[in-house]
Amino acid sequence: MTEKNTNTDETAHLRRRAEKIVRGKALQSAEDLETLSPEEARRMLHKLRVHQIEWEMQNEELRRAQTELDAVRARYFELYDIAPVGYCTLSAKEVILEANCTAATLLGVARNALTKQPMTRYIVTEDLAGYYRHRKLLLETGEPQTCELRIRRLDGTQFWAQLQATVAQDTEDTPVSFVTLHDISERRQIEEALRNATTELVRSNEELEQFVYVASHDLLEPLRAVSGYISLLEEHLHDQLDAEALHLLNGAIDGAKRMQLLITDLLALSHVGSQGKAFVTIDIGAVLEQVKRSLCVSIQESGVRITHDPLPRLSADAGQLVELFQNLINNAIKFRGDDTPAVHIGVQRQQDQWCFAVHDNGIGIEPQYYQRIFLIFQRLHTRTQYPGTGIGLAICKKIVERHGGTMWIDSSPGDGSTFFFTIPDKGRATI
């Protein structure tokens, strides 16, 4: 039965009831009327007119409210239809009870052809299991659920969609769900491209690391031979050569030594990713002791004072943390200012990580070089001013990143530098 028929029946039914009441009252009123004085009759007539006008006004009000309601309803349906997402109402048995125009366009079907269709008809077979899991969860928990799956249009083309569903009861207390459909193909494509690019990046990075390792390793052998032969030459011919020739020969020896140093550092850099050890709980205090033993000569020569906050135990690659602290303390000594060098190692617990701050009282760095110094071969001074290869901080950064942390610097010329780095550690904070 249509909505219009129902309304007509109800109106006829109301009319019959009203007539019956009026007929009953009319009989009574006829008897009453005979006893009314003309004055009373006039008053009653006046009352009746007031009532009539009142009803007419109420009627007018109702008609206006109805028109407004119709306009709101029409606007709602218009918005519902042109909404940028598809809307569907589904029965508990996956049947589409209602859908907006956007849903019909997304599914590539005429809107009226959608109703009474099972939703599963439009879902790609491989994604059906996921869809059923999502529906089961929705109906069992009553909580809103989201899933991503592929939709197959009527013409066979497919797209990635995000379904967001909520559940409610209809007038007969059976569950219905309201589902929004978003076309997320573009986002999925970007994600896929990003995934591929990351995989490719990891692969080429590994390849590059391998290349650096092999190249450095293979270069080291002939270089040792060259350097050895030049040294022998210098020994044999020392007395026969003039000062100029000796100077040239020493230049060649220096060059070979420097190249050896560069290659060894390059090898160390390539080892961070490829030769790292598993993380175990280590004591940073013990790490620092080991660093002090390795640097004992320069510590003694420079008279550096090394102080520290209470140091924690944390999960890390012990060898790499030794390398990290050693590079930083070594730099603090190397790039010292006029005062006796002093290094302080501060540490703070921040949620799931430790934040270290290695502070020195050295020459400091201009802010415009804060990023550059972490790049390989980037140095701010000549080799005659300060020896080095420009790889130390690149190694430090790589070690920190291998541990899942970040590294940065705060410094100003003449005021010393503070190198910060974080090491994530999910374990209990222990110092």
User: What residues make contact with ligand ADP under the rule CB under 6 A?
Assistant: 327, 331-332, 335, 360, 362-365, 373, 379-381, 388-394, 417
- Alpha-carbon torsion 424, 427, 429, 431, what sign? negative
Q: How far is the CB of 419 from ligand ADP (least distance, A)?
A: 7
Residue with tokens 């007509």: 8
- Which C-beta is closer to ligand ADP: that of 271 or that of 379? 379
In this structure, the number of other CB atoms found within 10 A of the CB of residue 405 comes to: 20
Q: How far is the CB of 385 from ligand ADP (least distance, A)?
A: 9
- Which C-beta is closer to ligand ADP: that of 104 or that of 328? 328
Residue facing ligand ADP at closest CB distance: 388
Q: How far is the CB of 369 from ligand ADP (least distance, A)?
A: 7
**3 state DSSP class of 163:** strand
- Which C-beta is closer to ligand ADP: that of 224 or that of 372? 372
Residue with tokens 């508990």: 92
- Which C-beta is closer to ligand ADP: that of 270 or that of 331? 331
What is the rounded CA–CA span in Å between residue 397 and residue 324? 8
- Which C-beta is closer to ligand ADP: that of 166 or that of 418? 418
CA 10 to chain centre: 59
Q: How far is the CB of 362 from ligand ADP (least distance, A)?
A: 4
- Which C-beta is closer to ligand ADP: that of 357 or that of 380? 380
**3 state DSSP class of 255:** helix
Q: How far is the CB of 242 from ligand ADP (least distance, A)?
A: 35
Q: How far is the CB of 246 from ligand ADP (least distance, A)?
A: 28
Q: How far is the CB of 326 from ligand ADP (least distance, A)?
A: 11
Closest to 98 (Cα-Cα) out of 85, 109, 87:
87
Extract the tokens encoding 408. 């940065």
- Which C-beta is closer to ligand ADP: that of 163 or that of 212? 212
User: Any idea how long the chain is?
Assistant: 431
What is the rounded CA–CA span in Å between residue 395 and residue 344? 21
Helices in 238-313 by DSSP H: which ranges?
A: 243-274, 284-294, 296-302
Residue 417's Cβ-count burial label (10 Å; 0-12, 13-18, 19+) is: buried
Name the DSSP letter for residue 118. B
- Which C-beta is closer to ligand ADP: that of 145 or that of 361? 361
Q: How far is the CB of 386 from ligand ADP (least distance, A)?
A: 6
410, 430 Cβ separation under 8 angstroms = no
